[in-house]
Amino acid sequence: DTGVSQDPRHKITKRGQNVTFRCDPISEHNRLYWYRQTLGQGPEFLTYFQNEAQLEKSRLLSDRFSAERPKGSFSTLEIQRTEQGDSAMYLCASSSISGEGQFFGPGTRLTVL
């Protein structure tokens, strides 16, 4: 399967704990995006990378959130001191340099107890 992959698929954590998610984009894609989706809503943009550079961040990305793409391939999204409001599906997508055709992975469902 050469699509976008995400790990883990599900994560249950206690409030206050840190969590880290991983995304592996389609191999030839330069751009990588993170979105968050809550139940019944469309995905909301968090941030995106062109190669290893983080170029856009949403105001939704509080200082507890950090994303990296150190070698321009896979990316990680870390949430520190998780809160119940962080419970959501975290989606990763990738695209070619044109930015057209963003293809999503299966997502990581986070539940904060």
Binding-site ranges for another protein (CB under 8 A) = 4, 6, 31, 33, 35, 40-45, 48, 55-56, 58, 91, 95, 99-107, 109
Judge whether 25 and 4 are in contact, CB under 8 Å.
yes
Nearest approach in angstroms of CB 89 to another protein is 8
Nearest approach in angstroms of CB 14 to another protein is 23
Cβ closer to another protein: 69 or 105? 105
Structure tokens at 27: 């191999």
| Alpha-carbon distance values, 62 to 9, 13, 59, 82, 89 (Å) | 23, 19, 7, 11, 17
Cβ closer to another protein: 23 or 79? 23
Nearest approach in angstroms of CB 82 to another protein is 21
